[in-house]
Structures are given as structure tokens and as C-alpha cells.
Structure 1
Amino acid sequence: MGGVSFDKLYDIYNILSDAKDKIGEHSREYLDAIESTKGGEKEKKLATQIITNFFKHFPTLQDQAVEAIIDICEDIDTTIQIAGLKALPSLCKDNNTYTGKVADILAQLLQLDDPQEYNIVCNSLMQLMQIDAKSVIKNLFRQINERDSDIRDKCLKFLLTKVKGMDKTIISPEVEDIIITETKNSLTSISGQEYVELINFLKSTRVSQSFTGQQDLVNIAVEKAELHKDFHPTEQNTQMDKLLTCIKLVIPYFSAKVDSTKFVIYICDKVLPNFEEIGKLEKGELLQLAILRQLAELSTNCGQLDNPSLYVVQIYQKLKDYMPPPPEDTTNITMPILEFSLVECLLYAFHRLARQCPDFLTHDQQVLKEFRARLTYFARGAQGCSKALSNLDVNNKTLTDEDKKTKTVAPKVLNNINTLIRDLFYHPPKYQCVVKLSFKTEETIAKTTPEKTTSPVGKRHTPITFESNGSGLQSKQSRTDGVQLYTPPSGKFSSTFSSRGRGRGARGRGNIRSWRK
């Protein structure tokens, strides 16, 4: 036991209250109150009140007072501990030089299991934010950057749920600068899920509103995606997940001033040569579609390539894989299954990049002739599919919801393909038409009239969905196609994505099958 009795403390409280201008003469009494934080339950609570109320009047004893309140916060009695937690912000209000120290203590106390205590810690930190937001932010990130710390997840959660969206009177431009700097510094060493959360947090700041900031975000994504490494699509590593996720987070920021060249080069040079291996992964067909959709979008804002034909040829080879040559037996009227959604993406990317090497198709007339034969044959399949779709009666009760959805979406895919093919039949081929990728149209539809994901007719793929972070926040719709595509679960980049796959192919002119969405 330490300090004085409860009755004596009560007298001290009255003495200090009545002292007015002479309160500084009663440092002995204030010191007794500090010592009484080592007393019994009643003494601790009253001593805490005295220390808080008269803190500013005894600057020479403030260090001791702060330490005494910190000890109170560690008391085994919950009610005493709560009294201390509520007192800490008041001390900083009178002297903000203690804000950093107090913020550090409160950040560590975020790991408290008791819901009431945890909420009080959060409230105290919020009060500190109003006093000195810079110190609080720096201390939160210091804990987040402690890789082996048990409380880093709690601090990250507080940052994402409490700090994000705070009033601009608290998150001033100076505070936002600290948030941006600290977040950037943290992004290089954190795990996949935390990367997703912090990038989204960074995007809520003004960094995403300038071309310089957008370029910073892209540079961070390039570094995190490890584009300097070779690509090995195996179940044992997470390269595929990391690449898809990094692109997804920054794809809205590519423009004429922020180009996507590094990602385009990597996909063409490293990923497309391994395309078949990707298809062998779990849900590989969905991953194949995801990467081609991203390639199509990225190609829109690709900068000048040093040797464009090196990359265009990779897309060209994939187009040949999915655009079969016409059969030698002209009596054969059976059309193979055609992957319209994949071809739309590949044709679009080819059309965008080949304009950088317009002689790619014309330098060898035999190459052009053979490619146009494939284009013609594929266009026939597209026309057959269009005809079959036009014969679908949406009022037919036997049609599934998926069939009705197909009738809405499929024509956009087929129209894009036909438009792109027409450009390639000019002499010489042109690269002038402008099309809107069908899955970008789907994104708009999905946002206005969300529909329940169902398994398609034909080959079935189970939709993959999961929460976007460990704190219960639901993942946002993909910026690439309006559906959840690929958001890693908590802790690391995973090999699981959420997607609705492909376009429906056609066998013959009237039989619709396997339009995978």
C-alpha cells in the first residue's frame, strides 16, 4: 500500500479545488495523490481523478503523474483499469508532449479481450487523434511494422475502421501526408491481405487524385507483383494470385499519363507462354479468363513498347490456339466449341498493341492469308451463335435465368469480336475501331441490378467467394468485370479467386452450349 488514506485524499481534492491561483504551492499534496495510486481500490480511483483534474498545474510532477496513470491502466481490477484508460487522453490535452507515449500504450492495449475495455481504448485513441493525430498515426504504424507483434492486426483494424473516413478537421493535409508516407513504407514488407487493405486505405486519400499519386500506386503494385521474377504457375506458390490482385487494385488508375506497359510486357513475355499450365491449376479456366481480361484492359493504356512484335506475337499465338482453322472437309458443318470471351480479350489486346507494329500481319502474305482464314471461320461461328441467341424467347418458361442472362450479355461479346475482325480485313489491316469490352458493360449492369450467381448450363464452375479481409469487411466487386474475381483471404496471397468465367461457345448454328460466365 502507498500514499495516504481515502479521507486524506478527499481533503487533498478539496484543498486543490479551493487553492485557485495558489494551487502551485500544493505540490506536496499532488505528490501524495500520485503515491496513492498504489493504495486500495477507493484510493486508486480518487487519486486518478485528482491527478487528471489538476495535472496542468504541476508541470514538474507530470512525468510521475503519467507513469502513475499508466500503472493504473495495468491494474487487475477492471473498474480501476477503465478509470486509467479514460484519464490518459485528458493528460495529453493539457500537455500534448505525452501524446506519443500515451498513443503507444493505448495501441498496445488494443489487444485487450474484454469488449468494454477494448471500446474504451478505441475511444481514448480517437480522443488522442483530436489532440495530436500525427503522433497517433506514427505509433499505429510503428506497431503495424512490427512483424512479430501480436497487436499489429488490432492496430491495422483500428486504422482501417476508425481512422479511415475521419473528419477533415482531424485528418488535415499534414496528417494525410503522414498517412501516405507511412502506408507506402509499410507496403513493401506486409503480407498479401494486408497489402490489399492498405492499398484500399491509401486509395481513400488524395494520393489517388493526382497523376503523380496514381503513378506511385502503380509503382508499388509493380514492386509487390515482383515483375522481375520468372513466372511459375504452380499450386505451391502464389504468383498468380499476387499478379491478379496487384493489377486489380491499380487498374482504375491507368491512363494516357500513367501507362500499364510493365504489366503488359510481363503478361505477354512471362504469363502467356505458361497459359496451358495455368489452365491445369484448380479453377484454372477462371484464372485464364481473369488474366486475359486484365491484359485486355491493360492494353488500352500501354505505352510505346521497345520491340512490340516480341509481345504481339505471344497474343497472336494464343489467338491461333482459340481460333481454329477452317476444316479441310468442307462438307463438315459441325462447328467446334468456340471460346468467345477469351477471343474477345485476345483480339482486343492484339488490336491495341499491333498498331505499334502495323506490319506484323503484312510482312508475310501467307501469314495474313492463314490468319484471315481463321478469322473468317470464327466469324461464321459467331454469326451462328448470334442466330441461335436471337431465336431464344425470353418469355419461354423452360429457359433458365442463365439462358436469359446469356441472351443479354452474349451479343455484346459477339458484336465486339465482329467489329474487331472487320478492322483486320482491311487492306492493309486497320487498328482504328473503338469497342467497349463486354465485361466492362457487365460491371455497370451488376452494380445497378445485382443478380445471384448461378451455375451455367453445360460445364459447371462453382463461384468462388470469400471475405476480403480478416476483420469481416466484405470484398468489393471486381473493377474488371463487375463480379468478385480475386481477393486473397487473410494472411497471405492465396490460390483462390472469385470469378464468373467465360463466354459461351457454339457447336453448329443453332446449338448453344458452354457459355461460361
Structure 2
Amino acid sequence: HKDAYQVILDGVKGGTKEKRLAAQFIPKFFKHFPELADSAINAQLDLCEDEDVSIRRQAIKELPQFATGENLPRVADILTQLLQTDDSAEFNLVNNALLSIFKMDAKGTLGGLFSQILQGEDIVRERAIKFLSTKLKTLPDEVLTKEVEELILTESKKVLEDVTGEEFVLFMKILSGLKSLQTVSGRQQLVELVAEQADLEQTFSPSDPDCVDRLLQCTRQAVPLFSKNVHSTRFVTYFCEQVLPNLSTLTTPVEGLDIQLEVLKLLAEMSSFCGDMEKLETNLRKLFDKLLEYMPLPPEEAENGENAGNEEPKLQFSYVECLLYSFHQLGRKLPDFLTAKLNAEKLKDFKIRLQYFARGLQVYIRQLRLALQGKTGEALKTEENKIKVVALKITNNINVLIKDLFHIPPSYKSTVTLSWKPVQKVEIGQKRTSEDTSSGSPPKKSPGGPKRDARQIYNPPSGKYSSNLSNFNYERSLQGK
């Protein structure tokens, strides 16, 4: 009945009713006429581009029936191109059709998708990438076999040679969701991919917003991959050697972003998973010098004991938390850095700054606790109190870290949760540390009276540097931080 099928194919040139019938019958009898395969697919494709939306939808819906054998990659390619439709019903039909042929032949479907990602128009490329990032995770394990995942990784590497920032983020989402890359070696592969994308072999250009943005985008993707087995050493080294010395000159295309704080936060998060570093002492010194910039010397006193200057130095707690934490993490690898690697004058200067900062910190913590005392539930959800709760987390963290550095010799044993990270729940039976650095609520009074737990606040040695801190105002110090 070849002639009869040819009449059906010719129906695409007829009126609306003929086209609707053709849209149904061309795919229905397609498998019986392999010698007319090209003509049939082209005829159905004409219907997919018809002016009548109902004909287009019917034709798209039936496309998976053409996905047999060597025709499947071509159907996948056609469906991928059809993702550019602005009609929401058509778009859903295309998505469903792609998913259905994915389950028939994942490799063939991926061939069509990646062909368009690499060579298609911008809108098709964009939507094909989004399709992969949202739909792959919905596919069953028997579809996403190890071989299929290897093909996704291979093809993704080709695309990653030339991607925008947004596309890179989506591809990292796609790849990090693959079960074959959930292993230590898999995550290590992903870190190497990100490092390559970040261009860590090149000299950093702080005045180039695109260069800065690329480094931040890449580092954000790398951070969740780091662990005790997958080290962050390359990134931490690059930040210490290339970024920290240029912190004050960083530029960013993102309006309103505190780029310096963003960099310091990323460094802090990565420092926990840093492995053996070649130039550890040199990089610790860079970190140390940057920390000194944010830990001011106390103001000089006039003869009458008043401040000689007009105003006290600003204590930038958010920056100090990040730098102290990073220094604390890397310092564990060279515990005698402060005592054996610094000259006496530098060490004395550091202790003076540390003492002055610690004194201001105690006043700040007391004022914050007083302001939050008795507040629970909805009261803690106001914008002002949210800021105070975060500020209390930050200052508690700094308090613990400074206490470690005041030890003789310095200790690096304490563990804190960075103020912007989710709090780790304590398991039943697990001993809680004496200093809960993650709690945002004020300390509860003991039932025996107002006696304070002596371990809650560390009081460094008193001295002349503490005399001007009684009027320290935490409201002023919160501005912009």
C-alpha cells in the first residue's frame, strides 16, 4: 500500500482537515515504509511548523513514533530545535517527547541534544542546556547507566571549552548530579574541571570585572565538592598568592556586592579542606598581614587619658571572622608560625591588636545579648533582630578563635561553624562544647540565679588598651557590615 501512504504524505499540502489526519497517520504507518522514511519525517516536520497551533501540537506529540534505529538522533535533533517555541503547551509537548525518546535510547537522544548545544542557535542552546539540568535527575537509573553518564561528561567537556557564567553553573549542576561522579574520584574530576575553567594557571587581574567574576563563579561551584579527601589546596593557594594582595582593588560587575567580603567568605569555607601546601609559611604570612589590616591598633592616649584621635577605629567583625578562621585552619599545619616564624616586634604588635580587638568584642557581645534577651519567635524575625542574631554568631566565633591564639603556645583545637553556614544539629548523647558559637539566641540564665558561666566569655588580660572601650557602640559598628 505504498501508493496509499504516499497520498497520506501528500496530505500535508492540503487543507486543515487533511493536515490533521496526516499528522496522525504518517507516524502510525511509518514503520511499514522504511524506503519512505526521509519523506515521512520531512512531512511531519512541515506539520510541526504549521501556522495552525492545533496541527503543530498534534504533529509534535507524535514525533517519538519516528524515533526508531538510526532515525532517533535526527528526531532528537528536531525536538531540541523545537524547544525554541514560545507556546507553553507546545513547549511541554516537546519536553515530554524528548523524555520519552530518552527512555528508548539515551545515547542517541544525547547526540541530538549536544549537537544543538554545540552548533544550534542561542535560544535552542540555552533551552537544551536547561532541559538537561532539570530533566536528567528525573530519569530512572536504568536509563542513566554508567556509559550514558560517561557520554554526558565527555560531551559536557566539549561545551565547557566555551561557555557563559550561567551556562557553566548549569553544567556543574548537571555533572554534580550524576551518580558516577558522587565518588571521591568523581568529585576530584569535577574540581579539576572547575580549576581549568577558573584559569588558575594565569595571573589574576583584579581590575578586570570579568576575570574576578569568573573566579568567584568557579570557586562557588568548587566549594561544595571539597572534603577531607578532595582538597581545596589549588584554590586556597591561588587566593592567598594572587587575590589577597589585591583585595582592595577588586572590581565586580555585580551591583551592590561586597566583593572583598565575598572573597574572604569563600577563602574561609575552602580553608577547612586545604591539603599540604608547598609555600605554606609564605601564604600564612600573606594571610597574617591581611588580618592585621582589619585588626587596628588602639588609639593613642593624650596626657589626660582621653583619646588623642577624634574617633575610635572601626572594628570590621565580618572580615575578621573570615580571616581569623582561615588563619586558624591553615595555622594548624604550621602551629609554630606565630612563635617561631615571626620576629618579636611583629608578634608584640599582633598581641596588642588582638587584645584591643578582644576587649571591643566583649563589650559588643554583652550589648548584643542584652538587646536580644527575652526575645523569641516572631520578635527575632524582625530585620533589626536578624542582624543582631547574625552579629552574635560572628562575634562568638571570633571570641573562640582569639581565645585559641592567646594560648601559650597558640592552640588550634577549637571548632566553630561559620556564621553564614547552617548550624549542625547536636546528636543526642553528643557532648556540647562549653562555647556554643552557633547559637543566635541569648544565653539562658541558670535556675540558681544570674550567675554567668565563666567559660562563656573569654576576658583577655586587662591593660591600658581597654580603657577607651566602655563607650563602644554596637549599633554604629553594624553599619554596612
Q: TM-score, normalised by structure 2?
A: 0.79
Identity between Structure 1 and Structure 2 (%): 41
The 8 Å contact of residues 206 and 251 in structure 2, kept in 1 or not, is answered as: no
Alpha-carbon deviation of 1:440? 1.8
The count of corresponding residues between Structure 1 and Structure 2 is: 428
Partners of 1:279 and 1:288 within 8 A in 2: no
Question: Whole-Å Cα distance in 1 between the matches of residues 110 and 178 of structure 2?
Answer: 14
1:434 aligns to what? Answer: 415
Given that 2:252 and 2:259 are in contact with CA atoms closer than 8 Å, whether structure 1 keeps it comes out as no
Higher relative CO (Cα under 8 Å, sequence separation at least 6) belongs to 1
For 1:34 and 1:179, the matched residues in 2 are separated by: 36
Structure 1 residues 486-505: aligned runs within 5 Å = none
| 1:255 has 2:227 as partner | yes
Per-residue deviation, residues 444-498 of structure 1 (Å, max 9, x unmatched): 9xxxxxxxxxxxxxxxxxxxxxxxxxxxxxxxxxxxxxxxxxxxxxxxxxxxxxx
Partner of 1:353: 330
The one-letter code of the counterpart of 1:213 is G
Corresponding residue number in structure 1 for 2:447: none
| Residue in structure 1 matched with residue 428 of structure 2 by the alignment | none
Give RMSD over aligned pairs. Answer: 3.1
AA partner of residue 407 (structure 2): Y
Q: 2:118 matched to which residue of 1? A: 145
Secondary structure of residue in 2 paired with 1:228: coil
Cα 1:281/1:71, change in 2 over 3 Å: closer
Aligned to 2:66: 91
| 2:391 is aligned with 1:418 | no
- Alpha carbons 1:207, 1:214 under 8 Å: kept: no
What is the 5 A alignment of 1:356-375? 356-361=333-338, 362-363=340-341, 364-375=343-354
The aligned counterpart of 2:139 is 166
State the 1:230 CA deviation.
2.4
Give the 3 Å change call, closer, same or farther, for CA 195–365 of structure 1 in structure 2.
same
Q: 1:382 — aligned with what?
A: 361
Q: Secondary structure at the match of 1:356?
A: coil
What amino acid does structure 2 have at the position aligned with 1:511? N
Out of 128-137 and 296-305, give the one that drifted further.
128-137
- In 2 relative to 1, CA 44–286 (structure 1 residues): closer, same or farther, beyond 3 Å? closer
Q: 1:227 is paired with a residue of what secondary structure? A: coil
User: Match of 1:492?
Assistant: none
1:312 to 259, 265, 284: 284
Q: Deviation of residue 259 (structure 1)?
A: 0.7
- Counterparts in 2 of 1:371 and 1:89: CA distance versus 1, 3 Å: same
Counterpart mapping for 1:163-242 below 5 A: 163-234=136-207, 237-242=209-214
Deviations 1:90-142 (A, max 9, x none): 132xx332111111112112223334433333332232223222222221122
Matches within 5 A, 1:288-299: 288-299=260-271
Q: What is the SS of the residue equivalent to 2:314?
A: coil
How many Å apart are 1:43 and its aligned residue?
Answer: 3.8
Query: With structure 1 as the length reference, what TM-score do the two structures score?
Result: 0.74
**Matching residue of 2:2:** 27
Alpha-carbon spacing, 1:251–1:56, altered in 2? closer, same or farther (3 Å) = same
Q: What residue ranges of structure 2 are gaps of 5+ in the alignment?
A: 426-467
CA pair 266-124 structure 1, distance change in 2 beyond 3 A: same
Q: Secondary structure at the match of 1:301?
A: coil
Aligned residue among 343, 349, 352 for 2:320: 343
What is the CA-CA distance between 1:192 and the residue it aligns to?
0.5
Change (3 A) 1:137 1:57: same
